[in-house]
């Protein structure tokens, strides 16, 4: 018995060390990013986050257009991808005929396996011309609004958001489907027993699994934030801050990928690494916020577990 507990202890320490390794890697990445960008941090300080000029010739570097482009494109991508993904997940787990289910699951997962450079090429040669046609077809009064201003080039925020949406959809839908699958049968049976329609029973299941679904969306957000190759090929790579969906813009990961290999000047290199640091901080913040959101929801759910199963919430049709 003693030996057993000894090996248990060893197992605990061993796995604990692996877990600690993850933490150590995250900290090490942070330290290296900070150290390697020190010239830029000293030179620009907080201004780096809020200025718009990125001029390697004049040694003037500001990250705001890149921060804006990354967040804007990722949020837009989620706005497009979330309803589609939840639709796919719901259909596959609740409504789909059994014969169709496996092929559809296979196809959505295939989408996730396509390399991003392939998405980029497809985006450049197929999506961009389509977006340009759309821009050209748009009536002038709409083109005058800030959301659709700018020349109809095809490259720009809309193309980037669309390609990102296509790329994150398989992630969100697969995870959301897993979440729905893990909702106990009794939840749905209970809803049906109370006289709920199919739609209402699905709402109960979605509501039951909402923390998992939010987790899935946040994972998609994280992936959209860091996506580089496909985005840089269609976003136009112009560091501007604009609400316009047609305007060429830029993202943080794209500028690093684009300029890193040919950056000779020290300050330029450090500024690029500081962009990496900013991306790192923002990704950490997004993850922390989503954790807190989920944690908060779980606590509320525990505090009043009955609330969501009350017949009243199922609507008047009961």
> Which residues make up the interface to other proteins (CB under 8 A)?
53-58, 60, 124-125, 128-129, 132, 151, 153-156, 232-233, 236-239, 248, 254, 257-265, 268-269
> 161 near 70, Cβ under 8 Å?
no
For the chain, strand residue ranges (E) read 54-55, 60-61
User: Alpha carbon of 63 to those of 32, 53, 282: distances in Å?
Assistant: 19, 8, 13
Alpha helices in 182-265 (DSSP H): 185-193, 198-208, 210-226, 229-234, 252-259
Q: In the structure encoding, which two tokens stand for residue 135, read together?
A: 């821009």
Q: How many CB atoms lie within 10 A of CB 19?
A: 10
Nearer to other proteins, 136 or 300 (CB): 136
Nearer to other proteins, 120 or 220 (CB): 120
Q: End-to-end distance of the chain based on CA atoms, in angstroms? A: 58
Q: How far is the CB of 236 from other proteins (least distance, A)?
A: 4
Q: How far is the CB of 247 from other proteins (least distance, A)?
A: 10
Nearer to other proteins, 218 or 235 (CB): 235
Q: How far is the CB of 160 from other proteins (least distance, A)?
A: 12
Q: How far is the CB of 135 from other proteins (least distance, A)?
A: 12
Nearer to other proteins, 192 or 260 (CB): 260
Distance CA(158)–CA(246), nearest Å, equals 6
Nearer to other proteins, 33 or 155 (CB): 155
61: β partners: 54
Q: How far is the CB of 33 from other proteins (least distance, A)?
A: 18
55: β partners: 60
């Amino acid at each position: 018995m003693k030996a057993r507990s000894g090996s248990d202890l060893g197992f605990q320490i061993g796995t604990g060390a692996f877990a600690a390794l993850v933490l150590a890697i995250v900290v090490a990445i942070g330290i290296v990013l900070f150290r390697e960008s020190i010239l830029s941090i000293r030179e620009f300080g907080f201004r780096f986050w809020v200025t718009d000029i990125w001029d390697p010739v004049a040694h003037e570097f500001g990250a705001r257009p890149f921060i804006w482009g990354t967040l804007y494109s990722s949020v837009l991508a989620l706005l497009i991808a979330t309803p589609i993904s939840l639709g796919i997940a719901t259909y596959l787990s609740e409504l789909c005929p059994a014969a169709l289910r496996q092929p559809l699951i296979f196809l959505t997962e295939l989408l996730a396996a396509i390399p991003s450079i392939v998405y980029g090429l497809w985006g450049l040669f197929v999506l961009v011309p389509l977006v340009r046609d759309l821009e050209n077809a748009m009536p002038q009064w709409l083109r005058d609004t800030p959301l659709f201003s700018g020349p109809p080039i095809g490259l720009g925020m809309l193309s980037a958001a669309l390609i990102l949406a296509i790329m994150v959809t398989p992630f969100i839908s697969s995870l959301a489907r897993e979440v729905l699958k893990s909702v106990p049968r009794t939840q749905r049976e209970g809803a049906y027993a109370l006289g709920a329609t199919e739609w209402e029973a699905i709402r109960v299941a979605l509501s039951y699994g909402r923390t998992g679904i939010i987790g899935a969306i946040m994972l998609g957000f994280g992936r959209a934030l860091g996506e580089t190759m496909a985005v840089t090929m269609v976003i136009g790579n112009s560091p501007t801050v604009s609400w316009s969906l047609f305007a060429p813009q830029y993202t943080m990961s794209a500028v690093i990928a684009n300029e890193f290999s040919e950056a000779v000047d020290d300050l330029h290199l450090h500024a690029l690494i500081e962009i990496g640091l900013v991306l790192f901080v923002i990704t950490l913040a997004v993850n922390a916020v989503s954790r807190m959101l989920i944690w908060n929801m779980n606590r509320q759910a525990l505090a009043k577990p009955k609330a969501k199963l009350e017949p009243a919430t199922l609507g008047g049709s009961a």
